Amino acid sequence: MQFWVQRREQLPLDPSLARFCEGHAGVAFLGRVLLALHLVFEQDGICGLRKISRFLELTQLDRVVAASYGTQQAYATAVTELINEYGRSEQQRLAAQMPDRKITVCEDETFHPEICLVAIEPVSGFVALEAYRDQRDAQTWNTSLATALSGLPVTVIQTVSDEASALKAHARDGLKVHHSPDLFHVQQELSRATSVALAARVRAAENAVGQANEAVAARLAERDACRQQCPDTDALAALDKQAAAAEQARDAAIAWVQTCRQQQEQMRQARLGVSADDHPFDLSTGTLRDAADAERLLGARFDEIERLADESALSDSSLARIAKARRVLPGMVATIAFFWRMVWSWVDRLSLPAEIEQSLIHDCLPGMYLNLAAAKAPTAERRRVLRELAEQCLSRARAGPLSQLPLAEREELERLAVEWAGLFQRSSSCVEGRNGQLSLCHHSLHRLRPQRLAALTVLANYFHRRRDGKTAAERFFAAPPSDLFEWLLSRVSAPPRPAARRPAA
């Protein structure tokens, strides 16, 4: 006790602050601050341990908490191990009370340069698989995903990925489920094939207009000079013809610019139309769109893109990219057919009256789907339009046959409609975003060890929150997990004390 009293009196701090830091509440507060620093900035962020040490020095907390690199490194290692222990225990606990679910997984690989396989459940954002592997063939995907999902009461019914042969074989032969092509890569091929080439074409046409204007100005200047100096010469007629010809060439160049810009805008609208038509509902009316309608609309969009490419005389490489994108069209149509096949199979199991079934399919389900689409719309105006249309559909459903049902049954049907609407997945953008986050962490640390990668996965599932205030694990398991920070705080060791300062040599 004498040592503790003497230590508190010798701290180079304000006496009141020293008494607080040496007391029970102060030690608990320092432990909370140190864990928060490591969890938010070092574990979840890209902050190095030396920056944490520097923070402790600037706040003078290094006088009551050890701030050396070695001490902080040992503390960080312990926190990483505890995060992974939390992830294992919480997944086991939540899986035991989780209802059976049919899920979609979005899959892709990233490189650090080790091969990292990533699979995410897109509705909840739960990272199901994130691990380094030596290969990325179909068998490796089969084994890795089966290991990641072991112990979870889930059944994969669909995968979403690019057109990599291993990923398609993994879905077709390994999981034996439907494979949905990634719309992002279709749009990427179309954009690479047309955007740069058409933009260069417009710039060349605009340069031609500038040169034509200069030619017109030069011809007019020559004619005016000749008229002032030699008004009676016969050369004036020839100069007038040259000026008129220059003006005609300028007008033709201006018309060509307008044609190039028009074709560029038509191509842009056609590309956007591919995305707008790749839905099981018409986003302007909310009416149902089956596979035959989607095939007709998407085929017309690709026909328009190919026609504009021919008129614009795009290169063979651009035409090859367009053809590559069009080869994905059957898979896009098959995804819409798969969506309606699954929805009707689920509806048939409910054995609903015909009028309630019609209202559920034609009003309630489109309303829920449009709400989901509105959340992904690129502009505020587009989100507003989609939400208004969704509200109209839901209002018709709630004022129609569904209003005759008890409130609990109606809410259950609406919950099922939300679940069914989430079945249609056409993009693996969640995996692309996750790959980008991992790349930033790898760039900062120069290497992501398996233990650190596993900790990042736990943080993504149990620590990050969306605007609804829920973590991915809470949405996936339909139950809230234990608070990660408080769990760690109850298990991590007390903040290490600084060693006695030695005089400089």
Q: Kindly tell me if the per-residue pLDDT of 504 is higher than 70.
A: no
CATH superfamily, with its number, for domain 100-182+427-451:
Ribonuclease H-like superfamily/Ribonuclease H (3.30.420.10)
From CA 367, how far away is CA 404, in angstroms rounded? 19
Q: What is the pLDDT of residue 207?
A: 93
* Three-class SS state of 386: helix
In Å, how far are 151, 187, 372, 424 from 357, measured between CA atoms? Answer: 35, 36, 21, 20
308 pLDDT band, cuts 50/70/90, is very high
Mean pLDDT of 296-318: 94
121 pLDDT band, cuts 50/70/90, is very high
Structure tokens at 461: 């599932």
235 pLDDT band, cuts 50/70/90, is confident
Which is nearest to 207 in space by CA: 256, 247, 262, 246? 256
From CA 473, how far away is CA 480, in angstroms rounded? 7
| pLDDT tens digits for range 9-44 | 667 777 777 777 777 888 889 999 999 999 999 999
Q: What is the pLDDT of residue 385?
A: 95
Mean pLDDT of 225-250: 80
From CA 325, how far away is CA 206, in angstroms rounded? 30
* Three-class SS state of 126: strand
In one-letter notation, the amino acid at residue 455 is A
Q: How is residue 174 annotated by DSSP? A: I
The residue ranges of every structural domain in the chain are 2-88, 100-182+427-451, 184-326, 352-421
Q: Kindly tell me if the per-residue pLDDT of 404 is higher than 90.
A: no
Structure tokens at 462: 């149990």
Q: Kindly tell me if the per-residue pLDDT of 50 is higher than 80.
A: yes
Q: Kindly tell me if the per-residue pLDDT of 228 is higher than 70.
A: yes
Structure tokens at 110: 């990233």
From CA 418, how far away is CA 421, in angstroms rounded? 5
* Three-class SS state of 202: helix
Q: Kindly tell me if the per-residue pLDDT of 49 is higher than 70.
A: yes
Q: Kindly tell me if the per-residue pLDDT of 316 is higher than 90.
A: yes
- The overall average pLDDT reported for the chain is 90
From CA 191, how far away is CA 280, in angstroms rounded? 24
pTM of the model: 0.86
In one-letter notation, the amino acid at residue 397 is A
From CA 294, how far away is CA 280, in angstroms rounded? 8
Which is nearest to 278 in space by CA: 381, 358, 186, 194? 186
| pLDDT tens digits for range 136-184 | 999 999 999 999 999 999 999 999 999 999 999 999 999 999 999 999 9
Neighbours of 252 (CB within 10 A): 13
**Backbone φ and ψ of 25, nearest 5°:** -65, -40
For the chain, percent of residues with pLDDT exceeding 90: 71
Label the pairing between strands 154-161 and 101-111.
parallel
Structure tokens at 273: 């139309």
225 pLDDT band, cuts 50/70/90, is confident
Q: Kindly tell me if the per-residue pLDDT of 305 is higher than 70.
A: yes
Q: What is the pLDDT of residue 1?
A: 67
Q: Kindly tell me if the per-residue pLDDT of 5 is higher than 80.
A: no
| pLDDT tens digits for range 264-289 | 999 999 999 999 999 999 999 999 99
Evaluate the CA torsion angle 116, 122, 125, 129 in order and state its sign: negative
